[in-house]
Amino acid sequence: MLKHLPVFLVLFQLITAIIIPLIHSLKKQLTPVVVLSGGLINILLSILCLYRALEAGPLFYYPGGWEAHLGIAIILDPIAGLMVTLFSVIFFIILCYIVGVGRDESWYYCLFFLLCASMSGIVMAFDIFNLFVFMEISLITSVALIAIKNTASAIDGAFKYLIINAIGSGCILLGIGMLYQITGFLNLGWIASMIDRALILYPHVLTGVLGLFVVGFGIKMAIFPLHVWLPDAYSAAPVPTSALLSSLVTKIYGIAFFRIIYIVFFPGISHVVPLGSILKIMAALAILLGSFFAITQVDLMRMLAYSSVAQIGYIVLGFSLFTGSGLKGAFLHIINYAFMKSTMFLAAGNIIRSTGRRDIKNLDGLGSKMPVTFTAFTIAALAMIGIPPLNGFFSKWYLVLGSLEANEPVLVVIIILSSLLNAAYYLPVIVRAYFYKPAAGEEFKVKVVEPKMYIPVVILGLSCILLGLGVNWPLKVINRSVTLLMGG
């Protein structure tokens, strides 16, 4: 039974996605119950996956029994286990938030579960065509999730997302085709075994493949300068969508990309293309410019969106250092960032819902009106800046250590500098909310935030503290993943 676990997880998510609208049309009151219990079971299954991956090591699964070079290959290793667990936890909390807000749209839940299924598929895919299929599912559902608000800006954002990401998908598909042409395989393990020969025979084709992958996945990860779709999409989308897309979806594309890089191309490729340096430069630019753009924003959601651009930079940086500590930093930052950013997005959602304001300048004096929400926001912001006992500090620590191991002191300065830049755009929000008085004649009409809306935010905020003090636990799993990727 446990053997089929990876497929069962994805199937469960797909089936839940389909029955939710069904149940909604039959008996409306049942929808939240089904959604939440679906989310809970999802967490349990994911934890089981993680447990299995840690216990039994990497588990390969071939649906339909088609092995070797044509069949679909699914892998359940600590990386996949960790990611599905992380995703299911954040996913569940965001589901609670949606239920708390009281969205009466079964389609929204359905799309959410579809997205969840595609994410699980991406992290567990071990052959690139299967990967591509799940990425397409994820693309379509993401577009729908952004556009579901049906406002002009939402449709505009969704359209931008669709067009640019479709270009990305095209690049990836082309790359996959070329890779298949020169190696004859789609399974990552098999490609890896052929790559040394291919590197000698077709170095230029492989360079092309790599270029296509960098652009394609770069768009999907929103790595600078391919991030242009991100601010519009995130700021126009419904808050839970932005929270999920920002905190996890883009990062999971990153995992998929770097899994290919580490398994297939690394380290042979470095003789052909200076891949590490290219990615490092892109990451460094993302970190600095993302932060600079964030400072100039007046809209709270857009500020958070640009901050995502900067944070993706950290993760890409960690992966592209090709050192143990760098990888640890990247994985740790994916986990920490998911909690920090979803806290901030949901808190921002509460703020916007109860005041109707999005401009940072108009948030003066809100701290005393929405103390719980703002406390959570503050914790997450401080974690983002990297104040020590909170979780963000530790991932930055490992990233710096990784940069030093890779002999790149400039990157260390960039990371430290960007912490200061983070402070420069997060602290003013907090200071304004707590210590400024609203301008005369601009008294607030603040809708009361109900506990069911702020409890998810509080849980996420508290987990930023817990993950900081208990950073040992994720590190255990991460260490396993790192040894796996570094091949030692």
Binding site for another protein (CB under 8 A): 382, 386-389, 394, 397, 400-401, 404-405, 412-413, 416-417, 419-420, 423, 427, 431, 434-437, 469, 471-472, 475
Which tokens in the block code for residue 224?
A: 């600078």
First to last CA, the chain: 30
CA dihedral sign, ordered 251, 150, 238, 26: negative
CA distance 240 to 346: 7
| Residue 32 CB contacts under 8 Å (≥ 6 apart), including other chains | 99
Give min distance, CB of 179 to another protein, in A.
Answer: 38
Q: Are 371 and 462 in contact (CB under 8 A)?
A: no
Give min distance, CB of 124 to another protein, in A.
Answer: 30
Give min distance, CB of 368 to another protein, in A.
Answer: 9
Q: Which is nearer to another protein, 111 or 471 (CB)?
A: 471
Q: Are 108 and 145 in contact (CB under 8 A)?
A: yes
Q: Which is nearer to another protein, 267 or 388 (CB)?
A: 388
Q: Are 432 and 364 in contact (CB under 8 A)?
A: yes
| Residue 413 CB contacts under 8 Å (≥ 6 apart), including other chains | none
Q: Which is nearer to another protein, 174 or 412 (CB)?
A: 412
Give min distance, CB of 37 to another protein, in A.
Answer: 31
Q: Which is nearer to another protein, 57 or 388 (CB)?
A: 388
Give min distance, CB of 186 to another protein, in A.
Answer: 39
CA distance 398 to 415: 11
Which tokens in the block code for residue 341?
A: 């950013």
Candidates 222, 231, 370; CA nearest to 306 is: 231
Give min distance, CB of 438 to another protein, in A.
Answer: 12
Q: Which is nearer to another protein, 160 or 432 (CB)?
A: 432
Q: Are 31 and 24 in contact (CB under 8 A)?
A: yes
Side-chain half-sphere CA neighbours of 110 within 13 A = 15
Q: Which is nearer to another protein, 201 or 469 (CB)?
A: 469
β-partners of residue 74 are 61, 125
Q: Which is nearer to another protein, 156 or 405 (CB)?
A: 405
Give min distance, CB of 339 to another protein, in A.
Answer: 17
